[in-house]
Structure formats: C-alpha cells, structure tokens
Amino acid sequence: MMPEERVPLLEVEHLKMTFTSGKGAKKVTVNAINDNSFSIYEGETFGLVGESGCGKTTTGRAIIRLYDPTGGTMRFMGREISGPMTRELRRFLTDNISMIFQDPIDSLNPRMTVEEIVEEGLKYHGVKDPAERREIVLDMLAKVGLTKEHASRYPHEFSGGQRQRVGIARALVVKPKLIIADEPVSALDVSIQAQVINLLNDLKKELGLTIMFIAHDLSVVKYFSTRVAVMYYGKIVELAPSEELYRHPLHPYTRALLSAVPQPNPRLEKRRQRLSYDPAKDHIETGEERRMHEILPEHFVYCNSAELEKYRELL
Amino acid sequence: MDNETILSVNDLSISFKTLNGMVRAVRGVSFDLKRGETVAIVGESGSGKSVTIKAVMGILAGNAVIDSGSIMYGGRDLIKASEKDYQSIRGSKIGLIFQDPLSALNPIMKIGRQITEALRLSDPKISRADARKKAVELMESVGITDADRRFDQYPFQFSGGMRQRVVIAIALARDPEILICDEPTTALDVTVQARILDLINEIKQERKLSVIFITHDMGVVANVADRINVMYAGKIVEKGTADEIFLEPAHPYTQALLAAMPDLETSERLMSIPGTPPNMIFPPKGDAFAERNAHALEIDFEEEPPYFKISDTHYAATWALHPKAPKLEMPEVLRNRIARIKEEA
C-alpha cells in the first residue's frame, strides 16, 4: 500500500503526559510521554516497544483517555479526542476503541460468567434484545476458539490462554475500529503465547482489525506488527516498517535493544556482541534540537542533523 | 573443562500431597552436572523444573514427598541428608539465585549488611572492617559501581538489574562451587537481562563455577547453556548439547516449543501447541505430550516411551524415534530456522 492511499485512523500530535507527585520543594515531575507524534493507519498493526517504565502503556491509556493528556492533540476517525471529556466523547471512545490487557486474571471480573463478561459491552453498545446479544456473544466465542459450554463458566475455571481468549472476545464483540493490546501475551507460557498470537493474526485478517500492539518483546512485536515504534524514556526514538527497522536500526538505543533480544540460536548467542546504550556518549551534541527526521521513506529517527549524517552513512 | 561429575540427580520423583490427591510433580528426572559447565533445565510453568532444584537445595515445601531417587553430591545422597548436614551445603557449597530479586532481599536491611551477613556465616570471626572490605569487593566484581557508597543503601534504592547483581553478590559471598539460577532474568528488561547473562557467564569462567540454569526462555538457554534438559509434565523429555537441542530437536515437544516462539527472522505462521499441560494428579498413561501432539502414534497413548539414544550426549523419550515409527516431520518455521542457522556457519 502506498502511503498516500492510507487512511489515518488515529493521529497523535505532540502528545505529552506528565505525572506529578509531592508538593512544594518535594514536587517530582515525571515526563511519562514526552512530545510524541505518530499515526495509526486503518488495517495496520502498530507496534510500540520499549522497556518497563518507558511510557508505552501510558501512551495506550492516554489514547483511550484513561489519563488526561497534559498536552498535544489526538484525532480519531477524523474527530478530535483530546479535548475536555464529555459523556458523548466517552461514549464515542468506548464504542470505537477496545483494550486487551496483559493479565487475563486481573482483567476479568471473577464474579461474572464468561457470557456476562463478553455481553457487558454489547449492552452499553445498544443491543437491547437479550436473545440477539446471546447470539452475538456465542458467535464471538466461537471466533476466538471457545465453545457454547464455556459461556456459563467463570474465569477461574479457565487456563491463562483461554482467559486471554475471553479478554479478546470481550474487546472484539463491540466491533471496535481500534484495538489497543497492552502486552497481551507476555503473561503466557510460550506454547500458549503462540496460540494467542496466531488467533490475533487470524482475527486481524478475518475482521480487518487495526491494532496498537504494546509489548516489550521485540521478536514478538516484529513478528506481529506492520510498523514498529521504539520508545525510550517517554520518547519515540525510531519509527519504521518492522522489516526495515530490523534490517537498518539506526538509533543507538534501537541497536542496543536489538542486540539484546535473546535468539534461539546457540551459535549466534555464544559469540554475540551486545551493544549497550549510554545516552551521554552515544550522541553527538551540537546544541541543535533533535526532532524526528525521515531518513528513508517511512523510516523516522529522532536525531539532530549531525547525527542524521552519521546515520545516513550507516545505511 | 574436566569431565568430573560434581552433582548427579538420579531417577528423582517428587509428589505433593494436596486436598485433591497426589500431584506427581517430578517423575523420574536424571541429570548430571559436570565441573565448569552450565546445564539448563527448560520447561513451561508447572513442568517441575523449580521443584527439581528445590529438592537439590533441600527446600521443598512441607507437603512434598520424595518418592524415589537420589541426589549425589560430594559422595553422599542429599535426600538422606539431615537439615544439619544441609546447613553446611546450602549457600556455602551450592548457591541459589531467585527470579525476583526484590523478594529475595530484605527490604529494611541495608544492602551491605545483607552481604556481610552471608560472609559472617562462613567466617563468624571476621572483623567489621574486613567484612565491609570484602563485601565492597564482591559488589564491584558483580558490576555495582560506586560500591562503597551503595553499601549503605536499601534495596528500594536499587534498580531491578542492580538488585539482581546484589543477589548474585550474596550468593557468591560464600564462594559456592555450584550456582543454581532459577529464572534469574525473567523479571528484567531485555537489555538488563543481556547484561546479567553476561555477568553470570563471566563469573562462571572466573570462579570456575558449575551452573544449573532454570528458564522457560529458549533464547536465554541458547545463550548460557552447554547442555540442555527439556522438561514436560515432570519428566525430562529430551537432553542434549545446545547444538543438538536447537539444530536436531527430536522430541515433538522440543520441536513445538521452538516452533512456538518467533525470532527476529520469523515470518511463517507460528506453531501453536493445542490444549494445555495435563493435570498431574492423574498423569496420563503413555507419553504425557501425546494429547497435544498432532503426530502422536497409537502407542503414545498406551505406553510411556523409553529414552532413545541419538548420540552419546543426545537422548529423547519419544516413540517417534522407534525404528518402526514414521519419520517425524519438523514444523516449517523450525525447519527454515535451522536451515538459516546452518547456512550462517
């Protein structure tokens, strides 16, 4: 697909999220998201990768407005969603954006049956007829690989992988335009991880989903995503199509991250040179402000012009 | 590396008494640890890998029953060792590093004291100044910078990776000859994980340690292990050198485990293993993996497979290796990866 033909579903510009704690002299300010801009196009999977505390989860939550962003604008389906929260805006967001959470145990109400959990969204979505709701729910459960018999059971009766299927069914049942999947597989065992990744991949094709995939495992993100953004301390430092990012990592942090991903290859692992990232040493300081530069079509890297020159030589 | 076997686990079986019945957590596990090598035990949660090493450390839960087997170390069987005997082994001869460095450290005790505490156990008469000096040296040797100042800090003032370094320093304080690492990097970020793995590899070389490494991550295993034991449902289903396990995996479970994780080159569909591990209160007859194995043979459901020898170092318990069995087709994603690895060489 050519870039011009793509329709941005979500446009995020200069998103900032600051948390403060304490008062007066003890006041601490944390820039969880530090001026990030990106778009998510219809039908793509946008991977957001980074280490714990880098702000990737905060980004997801700011988009669905679980947090009120400190600055910046967000447009979703052409409509501004970063303004003051109203009932109507809340409704618009919950109707069109769903979340899948990391921990399938904590994110399901233990006192509700699977059917009630999946059905709940439909109720608010305006499906009034219980028979119709039931039909939609059972259909959705079948799509995620659960059966009718599972519908009347409670979350504790399921294994981790099955619980995550329930979480996926709950997210998809309202036919959202965008799904924010926050570490959906990292709590699962490897064999179950593959089940869930394959399921999400199948559903993506079948239903034409747009997914924002937040994870720390670069192998999984690269495998699953169309484009990948790498985040470091609240800042997106590199953004590129996933294959391109992997072939030509430019930002020293991306390179360090890639060199650290353990690979199931003993010959490679035993002679592997790991790079470490030291923000104080790995950059050229010219006093010029850094910004996102498009170094190759679609490949953005956060740098100043001197670094841009250096990165060009690396290509 | 000399070939002296330093620790040997033979036919170990462990069950847990629960209200629902006996859980057969470990079923006939045998492996050797040779001096200076790293042996990995890989498996998913509930496969029995942690229980196995808890038995080695003599820290099994109260409802555990050792049904059979022996753990030979220093000329004696640790299963028969009394708690008093164990106190001269645990920590001083065999050190242990846990998964979660925060819960392994005392939150209200200064880091330095937690290390000198271990030093004092070996040498009760050590002076305060000497203990401090030794502890600071240990902290420096595990890569904690500014060790003299950090000696007086509390665990919460350390990052996850630094805490794990402290835990490693404590384990090394008594100069053990065996180091058991139970998922030491699972709670850490990848770049920190890489540094801790490098550190473990380094101290292993320097101190001529023998390491038992427990993990579920095949990527981590590839990095650290000389020899690998793959566990499923309480049993070692395949054992071999790192090259053998990654390049010639023979057990359908090993293959599935490898084919279920993407690496940075993967574009094929992942192989997902259907279903979940069996309930070990009622261990299945035959091969425990048969139910989840698309290529299972009839005999897999009837009779437990013996170990088939593939090479002097490579064994797998699967009927697929029986001369009369049809040849097992490797999953595509794995076949391609192995071809790639061989091409690189």
Q: Which CATH code of 3.30.565.10, 3.40.710.10, 3.40.50.300, 3.90.550.10 fits the domain covering A3-248?
A: 3.40.50.300
What integer pLDDT is reported at residue B1 of this predicted model?
A: 47
Q: Could you tell me which residues of chain B have a Cβ less than 8 Å from any Cβ in chain A?
A: 44-45, 189-195, 197-198, 216-223, 225, 242-243, 246, 256-264, 266-267, 269-274, 276, 337, 341, 344-345
Give the C-alpha separation, B235 to B41, whole Å: 11
Bin A204: left if φ > 0, else alpha if -120 < ψ < 50, else beta. alpha
- How many C-beta atoms surround the C-beta of residue A273 within 10 A? 5
Which of A164, A186, A189 to mutate against chain B (most B CBs within 10 Å)?
A189
At position B141, the amino acid (one-letter code) is S
B5-225 homologous superfamily: P-loop containing nucleotide triphosphate hydrolases (3.40.50.300)
Q: Which residues on A lie below 8 Å from B262 (Cβ)?
A: 197, 219-220, 222-223
- Select the residue of B190, B217, B260 nearest A218 (Cβ to Cβ): B190
Q: What is the pTM for the complete model shown?
A: 0.88
Segments making up each domain of chain B, as ranges: 5-225, 240-344
Give chain A's residues under pLDDT 50.
1-2
pLDDT tens-digit series, residues B39-90 = 999 998 889 999 999 999 999 999 999 999 999 998 899 999 999 999 889 9
- Distance between A19 CA and the closest CA of chain B, angstroms: 20
Helices marked H in A225-304: 242-247, 252-260, 266-270
Q: Is the pLDDT of residue B120 over 80?
A: yes
Q: Which residue of A has its CA nearest to B160?
A: A52
Instruction: Look at residue B110 and give its three-state secondary structure.
Output: coil
Cβ-Cβ contacts under 8 Å for A146 (sequence gap 6 or more): A114, A162, A165, A166, A169
Q: Is the pLDDT of residue B242 over 70?
A: yes
Q: Which residues on A lie below 8 Å from B44 (Cβ)?
A: 189-191
State the Rg of chain A over Cα: 21
Segments making up each domain of chain A, as ranges: 3-248
Q: Which residues on A lie below 8 Å from B192 (Cβ)?
A: 51
ipTM of the complex as predicted: 0.83
Q: Is the pLDDT of residue B191 over 50?
A: yes
What integer pLDDT is reported at residue A22 of this predicted model?
A: 85
Q: Which residues on A lie below 8 Å from B344 (Cβ)?
A: 267-268
What integer pLDDT is reported at residue A140 of this predicted model?
A: 93
Q: Mean pLDDT across the stretch B132-152? A: 93
- Select the residue of B198, B242, B276 nearest A266 (Cβ to Cβ): B242
Q: Which residues on B lie below 8 Å from A276 (Cβ)?
A: 191, 195
List the structure tokens of A134. Answer: 């039931």
What integer pLDDT is reported at residue A4 of this predicted model?
A: 54
What integer pLDDT is reported at residue B177 of this predicted model?
A: 94
At position A279, the amino acid (one-letter code) is P
What integer pLDDT is reported at residue B2 of this predicted model?
A: 58
- List Cα–Cα distances, B241 to A91, A184, B129, B224, B246, in angstroms: 57, 33, 45, 12, 9
Q: Which residues on B lie below 8 Å from A222 (Cβ)?
A: 262, 264
At position B296, the amino acid (one-letter code) is A
pLDDT tens-digit series, residues B318-339 = 999 999 998 888 999 999 999 9
- List Cα–Cα distances, B204 to A261, B99, B176, B196, in angstroms: 22, 18, 11, 12
Query: Residue A73, class by beta-carbon neighbours within 10 Å (0-12 exposed, 13-18 middle, 19+ buried)?
Result: middle
Q: Mean pLDDT across the stretch B121-126? A: 89
Which of B145, B183, B201, B273 to mutate against chain A (most A CBs within 10 Å)?
B273
Contact state of A190 with B218 under an 8 Å Cβ cutoff: yes
- How many C-beta atoms surround the C-beta of residue A149 within 10 A? 8
pLDDT tens-digit series, residues B171-185 = 999 999 999 999 998
What integer pLDDT is reported at residue A1 of this predicted model?
A: 45
